[in-house]
């Protein structure tokens, strides 16, 4: 029997400037990198524990390392799905298994998963929450990007929308409120988003307090993020949401992310594939969900001061999946 050995560690990457959403700001991205080794071949994965979901770096790392005996005894990617719940810990190990399997088979993950990735993936670029003028200025500087994602969820969002649209009249825009809108202001802000030509509003109300979404007119399509994690609960989103943001740190890896994408299609839910602020080691597996997605938000490395070596190639907001020596490809 092939023995699988495990290595995992916390790593830090500086953010270029400051990343701000309705829940706070940060200047550093902290991730956990996992290595799985079999017969001298190494597969790797990355995850970002998220405090919003009760995860911490230390506890997630402990959970990952606790699986070392089971991995050494034969735990594989299939049995991993029941060994850990959806979340960051399972994501890093799941993606490391995919990388390892591709390298052992002398192929790439896309072929293993029977996916034909597009030659070019256009990704959103995130504009952090700030004053209307500051966000308008940032949008102007990045107007060459194919899609801008606006972080909102604070008083004055209608003013932000108006200022940004005036600054970039021809840009495609989506909004992420990060649960920051109040039910009493929801319809007013959705009208403001409609008037500003917004394509999608992500998670306007807090998860668990979003029943109102089934009762109002969706003047702009509404996407679930904090309300949508994995396969469990996906069906309950129908009627409240028009789309779902698939993130591997929520689904617990690429394996369940692909299952979520398939089920969302069956439920007529559009897909956004998203990410945390992290490196190309997180973006590469997430990019395999892009063929199923209407909106792609995989700009994590663009928000960092420096990505990992051999990461994905970004040109004016477009990813070239063919330029990737970091993950998922036999070399």
Please give the distance of CA 231 from its chain centroid, rounded to a whole number: 16
Tokens of 230: 């994995």
Asked whether the beta carbons of 244 and 268 are under 8 A apart, the reply is no
- Collapsing DSSP to helix, strand or coil, 22 comes out as coil
Classify residue 79 by burial, with Cβ atoms within 10 Å: 0-12, 13-18, 19+: exposed
- The angle subtended at Cα 276 by Cα 69 and Cα 198, nearest 5°, is 150
Catalytic residue chosen out of the listed positions 26, 103, 111, 247: 247
- In the residue annotation, 247 being an active-site residue is answered as yes
Question: Buried (b) or exposed (e) across 143-162, using 16+ Cβ within 10 A?
Answer: eebebbbbbbbbeebbebbe
**In this structure, what is the dihedral angle of CA atoms 128, 129, 131, 136, given to the nearest 10 degrees?**
40
Compute and round to an integer the Cα radius of gyration of the chain.
19
Q: How many CA atoms lie within 13 A of 9 on its CB side?
A: 4
Catalytic residue chosen out of the listed positions 26, 151, 250, 265: 151
74: phi then psi, degrees, rounded to nearest 5: 120, 5
* Contacts of 92 by beta carbon, 8 Å cutoff, 6+ apart: 8, 32, 33, 34, 45, 46, 47, 64, 253
Catalytic center residues: 151, 247
């Amino acid at each position: 029997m092939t023995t699988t050995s495990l290595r995992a560690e916390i790593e830090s990457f500086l953010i270029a400037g400051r990343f701000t959403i309705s829940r706070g700001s940060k200047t550093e991205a902290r991730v956990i990198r996992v290595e799985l080794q079999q017969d001298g071949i190494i597969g790797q994965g990355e995850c970002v524990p998220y405090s919003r979901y009760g995860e911490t770096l230390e506890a997630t790392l402990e959970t990952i390392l606790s699986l070392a005996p089971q991995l050494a005894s034969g735990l594989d990617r299939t049995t991993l799905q029941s060994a850990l719940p959806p979340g960051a810990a399972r994501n890093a190990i799941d993606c490391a298994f995919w990388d390892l399997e591709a390298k052992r088979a002398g192929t790439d993950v896309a072929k293993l998963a029977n996916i034909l990735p597009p030659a070019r993936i256009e990704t959103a670029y995130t504009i952090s929450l700030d004053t209307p003028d500051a966000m308008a200025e940032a949008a102007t500087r990045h107007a060459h990007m194919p899609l801008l994602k606006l972080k909102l969820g604070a008083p004055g969002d209608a003013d932000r929308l108006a200022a940004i649209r005036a600054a970039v009249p021809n840009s495609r825009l989506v909004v992420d409120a990060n649960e920051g809108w109040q039910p009493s202001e929801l319809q007013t802000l959705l009208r403001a988003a409609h008037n500003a030509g917004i394509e999608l509003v992500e998670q306007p109300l807090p998860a668990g307090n979003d029943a109102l979404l089934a009762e109002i007119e969706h003047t702009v399509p509404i996407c679930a993020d904090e309300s949508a994690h994995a396969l469990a609960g996906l069906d309950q989103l129908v009627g409240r949401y028009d789309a779902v943001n698939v993130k591997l740190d929520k689904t617990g890896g690429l394996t369940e992310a692909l299952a979520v994408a398939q089920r969302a299609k069956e439920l007529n839910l559009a897909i956004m594939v998203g990410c945390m602020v992290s490196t190309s080691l997180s973006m590469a597996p997430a990019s395999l969900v892009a063929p199923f997605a209407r909106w792609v938000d995989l700009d994590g490395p663009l928000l960092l001061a420096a990505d990992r070596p051999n990461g994905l190639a970004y040109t004016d907001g477009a990813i070239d999946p063919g330029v990737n020596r970091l993950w998922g490809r036999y070399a």
